[in-house]
Structure 1
Amino acid sequence: MEEVKYLTVTAVSSYLEYLINQDPYLGKLIVLGEVSSSRVSKGHLYFNLKDESAVVRCVMFKNYLDQNNLEIKDGMKVLVYGKLNLYKAGGYYSIMCFKIDEFGKGDLHKAFLLLKEKLEKEGLFKEEYKKPIPRISERIGVITAATAEAFNDIKITITRRFPSAEIYLYPSLVQGESAPQALIKALDKANKDNLVDVIILARGGGSWEDLNCFNNEELAYAIFNSKIPIVTGIGHEGDFTIADFVADKRAATPTAAATLVTIDSGELKKQLTKVELRLNSIIARQITNLEHQYHTLKNNYYFKNYHEVLDLKIKDLNNLYFKLNQLSPLNKINIGFSNLESFKKRLALIKPLEKIKALNDKVYDYSLKLDQVLGNKINEFERKIDNHIDRLIIINPLNLMKKGYVLAYQEGRIIKTVTKLDQAKPLEVKFSDGKVETKITKIERNNNGS
C-alpha cells in the first residue's frame, strides 16, 4: 500500500503564519470597516471589524490603546492601522492594531488615502523596487532635526551596537509646511555627496498633523528615486506615512531604524571569532597535509637516489635517441638512396634493355609463326565447314520435297511406317508448297514388312 503523505495541523498553521509574516502588505495594513462586538478586557481592546460582505477579528493591546486617545464604540466607521496575525491555537486570523482613526474625520486623511492609492497604482510600493539594506553599514546618514530627541536615540543606538560606524547628519525640518521641501533637499544632498551606505529618515512621535509632512507626493518620489537605500523610523509603531510605504524598509521607531541598519558589534565579534577558529583549523590541516607531503617526498626512492635514477634516465634517453636516429625518416631516405644505387649497378650488369630487345624479337618471330599456323588451321576449318554445308543441303528434307517427296502426319506426329497409322483418324500430308488432309481408305503393307 502506497504511503500517504500528509501535513499536521500545526504544520499547516505554521506555514500560513510564515506566509503572512513574509508578506510586506499584510505587515502594514490600513483597513476600513465598522466596529462591532467591542469589549475591553484587562486593558486590551477586542472587537470585530466588518463590512457588508466579511468580518475580521481585531485586537489592540493596552500600550497602543493608551496612546490612541479615541473611544471605540460599536457602529463606528474606522480606519485600522496594523498587521495581520494568525492565532494558531484558535485557528483564526486577526488584525493586531497599532492605531485606530475615525473614518472621515478630516481632509488630511482623505488626501492621505488618495495619494496612497495613486502611488500604489504607479508601483512605488512594489517590493521589486526595494533596494537591499547593507548587512554592515560603516557610514550611516541620518535625516532629521539636529536637536530632536530622535537623533539622540539614533546616535546612542548606533554607538552601542556598532561603535566604528560614522554618522552623517543631514539636518532638516520634520514638521510644518516647509518640512517636505527641507526633507527633499537633505535627501538630494545625501545622494549627491554619496558618502553613506544607508539613510535613516526619522522623526519622533506626534499627532497625525505633525507627521503629515511625510505624506508629501514630491517627497515620495524623492525617496523612490534615491540611489542610497532608505530606512524610515517615523513616530510610533502604529503610525504609517506615505514615506514608510515608499521606503526600502520601515522601522517602527527611530531607535528601531538605528537597530535595523547596524549589526551588533558583540555579535559580529562572535562571528569573527568563529571564522577565525575555522580559518585556523583549515590552515592547521593544510600545514599537516603539506608536512605529510614533504616527508613522503623526502623518503621517496627517486628523491633519495636521484643520481642513479638520473643516470638511468640519461642512458634510456641515449638509447631512445639511437632508436629514433635509426627509425628517423632522414635515415630511411638515405638507406633508400643507397639501395637505389645498388639496384642501378645490378641493372647495369644484367643489361635489361638488351634482354628485353631479344625477347621482343623472339615474340615477333613467334607471332609470325602463330599467324601462319592459325591461318592454316582456319583455312582447313573453313573447307570442312563448306563440305558439311554441302552435305546438309543434300539431305535437307525441303529439297527432297521439292523433288516430289512428302511428309505424312497424324495427330501432329510424323508417320515413318504404315504400322503407326490409325485408319480411323485423318492423315495430314505436307508438300513443299502446302498440305492436304485426307482419309485413309485402305492400308497395304509390303510383304517384307518394311
Structure 2
Amino acid sequence: MNNEENILSVSQITALIKAVLEENFDEIFVVGEISNFKAHVSGHWYFTLKDSNAQINCTMWRNLNNYVFFTPQDGIKVIVKGRLTVYPPRGSYQIEVHSMRPAGEGELQAAFEKLKRKLAEEGLFDQQFKKPIPKFPQKIGIVTAIDGAAFRDMISVAKRRYPLVELVIASCRVQGEGAAKEIVESIELLNKQEGIDTIIVGRGGGSLEDLWAFNEEIVARAIFASKIPVISAVGHEIDFTISDFVADLRAPTPSAAMELATPNQEELFAFINDFLYYFNERIFEITADYKDKIEHLIKSYGFRLPQDLIKNKIQFMDNLFYRFQNLADSKLSLARNKIVLLEQKLENYNFEKTLKRGFTLVKQNGQYVPRLKKLIEKKPITIKFFDGEIKV
C-alpha cells in the first residue's frame, strides 16, 4: 500500500498539533513549582512549571503580568490560568499564562523568607547604613494612598503634634498589581524634591497578600537607595514586611510613624516655659561659676608667671637704660674736659696777652718777621705794641 500522498511537512504536522491542542485546551488551570524564571527586558516573563515527574514551559506577556501582585521567584508553587499553545520554530508546546496566584499563603511566606535572606546577605539591613531621623523636620514626604485611612491618620497626628511641618504626599497604590512599581516611583519622586527631611512609606493593615507590595525587592532597593531617611509603617504592630527591615526606622503603624517623625509641640512649649522660668537664676549661677573660675585662674601660677616675666624684662630695661645713661654722662664729661684743656691751650697762644706783657711784633711788607735774618735792611717796618703800632 502506497501512503506517499499522506506525507506531511514538518510545518503541516506542527500546525495540526497546534490546532488540536489549542482547541481542546483553551482554558486550563495548572499547579506547579516555578523554575528558570526570567523577566525579559521586553517585560515578558518566561519560566517553567514543574512537579516531581514532569515540566512544561510557560510564557506570560507584559500586558498580563502587570496584574500579578507579586514577583515570581524560583521555588514558589503557583496556580496559573491559561491555554496551551505550540511554538512552531521549536515544535514545543507551552502554556500561555493569563493569570497567576500563589498556591497558598505558605508560598508567599516562603518567598518572603527567601528574599529576606538574600537582602540580609547583601547587607541591606545593616545598622551602619541606617540614617538618623531629623528631630525638627520642615517637610515630610508620605508614600501611601491619598484616599486611605492611613494618610488621614498621619495628617491628624501631624496637626496635633507639630503643625509647623509641611506634608508632601506622593500618592500611589499600596496593594494589588502594579503597586510595588508605583511605590518605587513615589520614593524616587520625593528624592528629587527640595527640602524633604523624612519620608514615611506605609499603609494600614491587611492580609499578607494585601501587604505584599512592601515585600517586593524593587521596593526594598528603592528604600535603601533613598538619600532621604525613610520610616516604614506598614500594617499593624504584628505585621512585618521587607521594607521594615531595610528602612532607616520601623514604625508599628502609620500614626506611630508620624509621631516618630515629629516633635511634640506640648513638650516643646513645656521646655520653653521651664527655660524662661529658670533663665535668670541659671544665668546668675553660670556667671558666678565662671567668675570663680576666672579668679582662680588669675591667682594661679600660670597667670603670675607672665606678669613676673614682664616685670623682669622691665627691670632689665631699666638697668640697660641706667648703664647707657652713665656711659653717656661719662663720655660727655670726658669731652668737656678735653674742651677745657683746648681752651686753655688756645688761651696760652693768645698773642694779645703776650703783647700786654711788653713784647712787640715786627711786620714788613704786610707779614710778620719771626727771625732777624728775614728782615730786609733799609726797608720800612711796622712795630706793633699792645696799645698801638708805629712805622719805622
Q: TM-score, normalised by structure 2?
A: 0.49
RCO higher in structure (CA 8 A, sep ≥6)? 2
Is the radius of gyration larger for structure 1 or structure 2?
Answer: 1
Q: TM-score, normalised by structure 1?
A: 0.43
